C-alpha cells in the first residue's frame, strides 16, 4: 500500500475540536508518514487498554452487526511497537467487533514512529469527536490525564476545554457510581451531576437518599437551579426537621415533550424540538410529524406571499 503524507496542520484545522497535538511552531513544521493497510489482528494486543477511553467497549452487538452488513468503513489507529506488532491507539470497539465476527484482518491507519504524547493526543481527539462519547467518558479522560501528571491547564489544552470545565469533569469522575451511570446514560446533565456530586453529604434519611433525589431530578427533568434548591432544603432540615422538603412536590418541568409549537400574537410561531437518546424511539414519530406539518405551514406562507 502506498504511503500517505499527512500534514498535521491541516489535520488539526479540519478537526471538529482542533485538539493541539504539538506546540504551534512544531505543528507547522512537522510532516508525518502514515500507512492505510489491512493488518493481521493476531499482530495486535487487543487486551491493551493504554489508550482506551470508552466505557462500554464490550457492548458491541450493534457495531458488529453494522460491520457485518456494511463492512468496516472507518480505520482503527495503530502504532508500530517492533517485531511486526502493533499497539492500538483508537478503535478498540471496532477491533473487538471484528474479532467477534472472526475476521482475520482490520483496516488500519498505521503510525510507524508515534511517540506516547502523539498517541495520547490522537486517541483523545478521535474519541472526543464522536457524538456518542459521553460526558462520563470525557470526565474519565480528564482524570487519566491528571493522573499522568498534567495540570488542569494542560488537560484543558489537550481536550480543548476551559479550566472551569476541566474542574467540572474532574468533580464527577469520582462521583458515586449511581451518578456516574446516570450521566453516562444521558439521564442527567453534567452540571446536575456536579451539583449532586458536590453536595452528596447532605442526604439525611431514607426519604432523601442520593438515589431518591436522583430519581426525582431525572423524572421531573429538574434544572441545576431546581436541584440546588432541593439540596439546600435538605441541608437545612438537618438543623430543623420541620423544614424537611416534600419529595412528592413537583419542582421540575414535568413530562417530557419532544415537540412544542407556541403561537405568537403577530401570527408567527416558535417550534421547539427536543430529543434524548434515553427516550422512547417512538417519540421520533411525533418529531417528524411536527416537522412535516411545520414545513407545510411554511410552504403555505411562502405561497401566500407570492400571491
From residue 232, give the alpha-carbon distance in Å to each of 176, 201, 209, 228: 19, 12, 14, 6
Neighbours of 84 (CB within 10 A): 9
Kindly list the distances between the CA atom of residue 289 and the CA atoms of 60, 260, 262, 285, 293, in Å, as whole numbers in the listed order.
32, 12, 16, 6, 6
| pLDDT value, residue 217 | 86
CATH no. of 3-131 = 3.90.1530.10
Distance CA 286, CA 7 (A): 45
Least confident of 102-111, 168-177, 293-302: 293-302
Q: What are residue 261's DSSP bridge partners?
A: 271
Tell me 175's DSSP state.
S
> Which of the 8 DSSP states describes residue 46?
T
Higher pLDDT residue, 100 or 271?
Answer: 100
DSSP readout, 12-32?
HHHSSS----S-HHHHHH-EE
Q: Where are the beta strands (DSSP E) in the chain?
A: 3-7, 31-40, 76-82, 85-90, 105-111, 259-263, 269-273
Q: What is the mean pLDDT of residues 13-31?
A: 38
Cβ neighbors of 9 (< 8 A, separation 6 or more) are 27, 28
Chain segment 172-213, per-residue pLDDT in tens: 998 989 999 999 888 888 999 998 888 655 555 666 788 888
Residues in a beta bridge with 270 = 262
Q: Which of 8, 5, 6 is nearest to 28 (CA)?
A: 8
User: Which of 170, 137, 176 is CA-nearest to residue 153?
Assistant: 170
Domain parsing of the chain, residue ranges: 3-131, 196-243, 259-306
In the numeric block, which cell numbers belong to residue 35?
500507512
| pLDDT tier, 40 (very low <50, low <70, confident <90, very high otherwise) | very high
Which residues, other chains included, contact 299 with Cβ-Cβ below 8 Å and sequence gap of 6+? Answer: none
pLDDT of residue 3: 36
Bridge-partner residues for 7, per DSSP? 31
- For residue range 131-176, list pLDDT tens digits in order: 778 899 999 999 988 998 889 999 998 888 899 999 999 999 989 8
Pairing of strands 105-111, 76-82: parallel
Q: Give the predicted TM-score (pTM) of the model.
A: 0.62
Q: Is the pLDDT confidence value at 262 over 70?
A: yes
Distance CA 136, CA 172 (A): 8
Amino acid at each position: 500500500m502506498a504511503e500517505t503524507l499527512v500534514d498535521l496542520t491541516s489535520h488539526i484545522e479540519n478537526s471538529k475540536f482542533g485538539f493541539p497535538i504539538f506546540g504551534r511552531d512544531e505543528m507547522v513544521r512537522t510532516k508525518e508518514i502514515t500507512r492505510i493497510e489491512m493488518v493481521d489482528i493476531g499482530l495486535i494486543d487487543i487486551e491493551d487498554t493504554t489508550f482506551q477511553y470508552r466505557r462500554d467497549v464490550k457492548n458491541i452487538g450493534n457495531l458488529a452487526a453494522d460491520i457485518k452488513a456494511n463492512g468496516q468503513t472507518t480505520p482503527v489507529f495503530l502504532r508500530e511497537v517492533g517485531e511486526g506488532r502493533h499497539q492500538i491507539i483508537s478503535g478498540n470497539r471496532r477491533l473487538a467487533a471484528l474479532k467477534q465476527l472472526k475476521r482475520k484482518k482490520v483496516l488500519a491507519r498505521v503510525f510507524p514512529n508515534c511517540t506516547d504524547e502523539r498517541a495520547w493526543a490522537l486517541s483523545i481527539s478521535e474519541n472526543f469527536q464522536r457524538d456518542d462519547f459521553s460526558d462520563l467518558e470525557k470526565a474519565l479522560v480528564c482524570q487519566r490525564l491528571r493522573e499522568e501528571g498534567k495540570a488542569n491547564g494542560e488537560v484543558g489544552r489537550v481536550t480543548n476545554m476551559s479550566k472551569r470545565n476541566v474542574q467540572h469533569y474532574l468533580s464527577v469522575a469520582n462521583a458515586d457510581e449511581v451518578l456516574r451511570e446516570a450521566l453516562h446514560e444521558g439521564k442527567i446533565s453534567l452540571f446536575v451531576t456536579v451539583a449532586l456530586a458536590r453536595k452528596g453529604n447532605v442526604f439525611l434519611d431514607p426519604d432523601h437518599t442520593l438515589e431518591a433525589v436522583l430519581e426525582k431530578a431525572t423524572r421531573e427533568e429538574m434544572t441545576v437551579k431546581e436541584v440546588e434548591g432541593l439540596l439546600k432544603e435538605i441541608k437545612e432540615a438537618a438543623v430543623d426537621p420541620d423544614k424537611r422538603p416534600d419529595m412528592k412536590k413537583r419542582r421540575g418541568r414535568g413530562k417530557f415533550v419532544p415537540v412544542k409549537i407556541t403561537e405568537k400574537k403577530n401570527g408567527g410561531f416558535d417550534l421547539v424540538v427536543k430529543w434524548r437518546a434515553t427516550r422512547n424511539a417512538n417519540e421520533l414519530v411525533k418529531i417528524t410529524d411536527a416537522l412535516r406539518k411545520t414545513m407545510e405551514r411554511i410552504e403555505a406562507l411562502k405561497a401566500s406571499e407570492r400571491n
